[in-house]
Amino acid sequence: MISIQDKLYRDAESIMQKLDEMREAQMFVVVRCFLAQRDREISGIITKIDSVANTIKFSHDDGFDYIDLNDIMSIDTRRE
């Protein structure tokens, strides 16, 4: 599990590198993020990372979501 508050993953470069490793491995992840004044969990596979826009695309059974890196609180990795 990656917690964005963890000292090891505080800088964006380290987070992006770890997320890219998850994307390449096509790992199933559960992302906990803060959206629209509440916490939300999104499950899926990371399919795209945009380091310029600072967003991550998650594909899942219902389609996909783009999440801003700044909204992510933690990422739990699981293999399906």
pLDDT tens digits for range 4-30: 555 444 566 677 788 888 899 998 988
Instruction: Dump the DSSP string for the chain.
Output: -EETTSGGG-SHHHHHHHHHHHHHTT-EEEEEEEETTEEEEEEEEEEEEETTTTEEEEEETTEEEEEEGGGEEEEEEE--
Domains and their CATH numbers in the chain: 2-78 (2.30.30.100)
User: What is the pTM (predicted TM-score) of this model?
Assistant: 0.72
Do 76 and 22 touch, CB atoms closer than 8 A?
Answer: no
Q: What is the pLDDT of residue 8?
A: 46
pLDDT tens readout for residues 23-60:
999 989 888 887 777 788 888 999 999 988 888 998 99
Q: How far is CA 48 from the centre of its chain?
A: 10
User: How much is the pLDDT for 59?
Assistant: 93
